[in-house]
């Protein structure tokens, strides 16, 4: 090709390739094919998009099926970065040194196999696990053991097969400062179960709570793969292998409380909040208060050890749609203030606050502030007590008690709601927590190093909605039926306490007033 180009055209092509990694890769990179030998690298659409993402986003995490050529396209990007940029310091890490070295070799091969006139900066230092270009850009491979890379300022950190790296969280904590001067990171892998750094990073990236841009590439993204290919490829694979190596499914063990298929159904329907507000911008709002619709607010209070968060959800009762959500680490006093103010914005509906640990501190301040519609329950059996009765019932305590008795009940109710698609979940944050909410020896809880604050707030809301509110509604309907039955009678009914001052016969109007009062109590319960 160089023979067909003038010097001016070569210069123009070099400039064009230097500005655009896609142009560089698709026109000048060559790769080694096992049967065909050295061939032009004709990148597929998804590979070209990756090149753009690598260039556009500082941190990229790639959740991929196997054999999609992701390592090769990553090598092409690294080659472009080194060739057209001076003094780039690139580190490739993996569990095994050989794995990291293989990627470095791919980069070296891509540069060496460029047209001679495109090799604008030749290799000046060439070692087995590293090499350096004349422009000062260098790359090296390393295993994840030891103190790799900790003393260097990195331009790009590549973590290959990241899901298989043990204690990668600790390594990331150590290496992150080396990227502080604008360094980038590419983490790529097939899944390898849940609970590891790669899984957590993907989950958080999907929720938008970290700095990583996530790309998920399933087996069928490759244009040459169809159902026939899939059936042949999976003939001798286990279900777990298929799910993780081809379908990019982390949750294949059946340990999650909510079935992965149900989680995926909700994830596809989650939406971006209309507002992200609050002093920490962690108060997400999908719908503002509608006075025509009753609401419910449920809060889970942090333990107080700094390891978890306080959280709350606001539900529209009729549809059980989550219209607002908060998670953060405020003090108990601040959390009480937040709940009081937010509840006021939504018409002072029933406010359910978990009373475990420091939850009582939050409840005490809400009581001191005079919140009118706090959830109460009886001590011991955890049965609901309406706010009016709670004023004189001695065994009534404010808040909801999560115990070994109630925890399985609320979680089972949550799973039932989700399995039957009886609720609308807008929040990616909540769904992300559910991906790590598992059965651990029969106990539903978050996986180690994960939190379940949003899940528990949500689960309590499901239980309250399907028990307290439903039973209250039944009482209202009973009162309506009672009112209907007495409205047709003209017989006066005497009180049971004759002789008292003010004693009189009870009229239809009196009965009607009583029924209306019962009705009003219900609407006060759900609307505030």
- DSSP codes, 251-314: --SS-BSS-HHHHHHHHTT----SEEESTTS-EEESS---TTS-EEEEEE---SSSSS-EEEEE
User: Confidence band (pLDDT; 50, 70, 90) for 194?
Assistant: confident
44-252: CATH topology: Rossmann fold (3.40.50)
Q: Do residues 107 and 81 touch, judged by C-beta distance below 8 A?
A: no
Q: Edge to edge, what strands does the sheet with 376-378 contain?
A: 384-385, 376-378, 396-398
- Mean pLDDT is highest, among 345-349, 485-489, 494-498, for 345-349
Domains of the chain, by residue range, sit at 44-252, 275-467, 471-527
* Edge-to-edge order in the sheet of strand 212-217: 123-126, 130-133, 138-143, 89-94, 156-160, 184-189, 59-64, 212-217
Residue 78: name the closest of 94, 333, 70 by CA: 70
The CB-based long-range contact list for 240-246 (8 Å cut-off, 24+ gap) reads: 244/190, 244/191, 244/192, 244/193, 245/65, 245/66, 245/190, 246/65, 246/66, 246/218, 246/219
Mean pLDDT of 438-466: 87
Instruction: Give bridge partners of residue 296 from the DSSP assignment.
Output: 315, 350
Residue 169: pLDDT band with limits 50, 70, 90: confident
User: What does the alpha-carbon distance between residue 75 and residue 11 come to, in Å, rounded to a whole number?
Assistant: 24
Does residue 498 carry a pLDDT above 50? no
Q: Are strands 59-64 and 138-143 parallel, antiparallel or unpaired?
A: unpaired
Note the helical H segments in 148-213. Answer: 168-175, 197-207
pLDDT in tens, 274-295: 999 887 789 999 999 999 999 9
Residues 73 and 191: their CA atoms lie apart, in Å, by 19
DSSP 8-state code for residue 447: P
**Cβ distance 528 to 347 under 8 Å?**
yes
- What whole-number distance in Å separates Cα of residue 219 and Cα of residue 246? 5
CA 216 to chain centre: 15
What does the block give as tokens for 156? 């790009």
Percentage of the chain beyond pLDDT 90 is 51
Residues facing residue 61 across a β-bridge: 187, 214
44-252 and 275-467 share one fold: no
> pLDDT-derived band of residue 446, with 50, 70 and 90 as boundaries?
confident
| Beta pairing, strands 89-94 & 138-143 | parallel
Averaged pLDDT for residues 96-110: 93
Angle value at C-alpha 449, between 443 and 450, nearest 5 degrees: 65
- What letter would DSSP give residue 405? T
- Nearest CA to 460 out of 290, 315, 331 is that of 315
Q: In angstroms, rounded to a whole number, what is the distance separating the alpha carbons of residues 246 and 446?
A: 26
pLDDT at residue 253, as a whole number: 43
- Nearest 5°: phi and psi at 394? -70, -30
Q: Which of 12-26, 331-345, 401-415 has the lowest mean pLDDT?
A: 401-415
Indicate the DSSP class of residue 467: I
**How many Å from the N-terminal Cα to the C-terminal Cα in the chain?**
77
**pLDDT higher than 50, residue 476:** no
* Class of CATH domain 275-467: alpha beta
User: 3-state class of 421 per DSSP?
Assistant: coil
Q: What is the mean pLDDT of the chain?
A: 83
Nearest to 39 by CA among 48, 47, 30: 30
């Amino acid at each position: 090709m160089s023979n067909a180009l003038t010097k001016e055209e070569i210069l123009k092509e070099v400039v064009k390739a230097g500005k655009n990694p896609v142009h560089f890769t698709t026109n000048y990179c060559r790769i080694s094919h096992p049967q065909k030998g050295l061939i032009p690298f004709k990148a597929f659409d998804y590979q070209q998009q990756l090149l753009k993402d690598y260039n556009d986003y500082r941190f990229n995490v790639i959740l991929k099926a196997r054999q999609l050529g992701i390592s090769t396209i990553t090598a092409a990007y690294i080659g472009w970065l080194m060739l057209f940029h001076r003094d780039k310091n690139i580190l490739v890490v993996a569990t095994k040194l050989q794995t990291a070295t293989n990627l470095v070799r791919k980069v070296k091969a891509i540069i060496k196999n460029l047209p001679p006139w495109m090799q604008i900066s030749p290799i000046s230092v060439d070692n087995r696990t590293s090499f350096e270009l004349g422009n000062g850009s260098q790359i090296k491979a390393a295993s994840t053991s030891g103190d790799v890379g900790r003393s260097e300022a990195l331009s790009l950190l590549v973590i290959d097969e990241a899901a298989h790296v043990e204690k990668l969280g600790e390594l990331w904590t150590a290496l992150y400062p080396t990227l502080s001067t604008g360094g980038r990171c590419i983490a790529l892998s097939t899944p390898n179960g849940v609970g590891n750094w790669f899984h957590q990073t993907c989950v958080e990236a999907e929720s938008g709570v970290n700095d990583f841009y996530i790309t998920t590439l399933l087996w069928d993204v490759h244009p040459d793969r169809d159902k026939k290919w899939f059936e042949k490829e999976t003939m001798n694979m286990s279900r777990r292998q298929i799910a993780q190596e081809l379908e990019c499914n982390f949750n294949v063990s059946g340990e999650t409380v909510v079935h992965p298929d149900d989680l995926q159904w909700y994830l596809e329907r989650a939406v971006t909040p209309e507002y992200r507000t609050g002093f920490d911008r962690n108060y997400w709002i999908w719908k503002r208060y509608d006075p025509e619709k009753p609401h419910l607010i449920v809060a889970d209070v942090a333990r107080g050890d700094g390891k978890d968060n306080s959280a709350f959800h606001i539900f529209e009762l009729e549809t059980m749609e989550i219209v607002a959500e908060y998670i953060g680490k405020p003090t108990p006093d601040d959390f009480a203030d937040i709940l009081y103010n937010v509840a006021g914005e939504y018409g002072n509906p029933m406010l359910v606050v978990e009373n475990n640990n420091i939850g009582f501190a939050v409840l005490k301040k809400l009581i001191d502030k005079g919140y009118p519609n706090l959830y109460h329950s009886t001590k011991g059996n955890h049965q609901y007590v309406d706010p009016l009765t709670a004023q004189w019932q001695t065994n009534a305590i404010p808040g909801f008690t999560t115990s070994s008795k109630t925890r399985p009940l609320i979680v089972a109710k949550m799973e039932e709601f989700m399995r039957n698609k009886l609720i609308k979940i807008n929040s990616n944050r909540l769904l992300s927590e559910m991906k790590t909410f598992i059965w651990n020896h029969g106990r539903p809880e978050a996986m180690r190093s994960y939190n379940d604050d949003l899940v528990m707030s949500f689960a309590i809301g499901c239980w309250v909605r399907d028990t307290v509110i439903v039973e209250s509604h039944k009482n209202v309907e009973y009162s309506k039926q009672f009112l209907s039955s007495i409205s047709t009678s003209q017989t006066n009914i005497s009180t049971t306490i004759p002789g008292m001052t003010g004693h009189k016969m009870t009229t239809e109007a009196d009965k009607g007033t009583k029924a209306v009062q019962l009705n009003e109590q219900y609407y006060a319960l759900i609307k505030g």
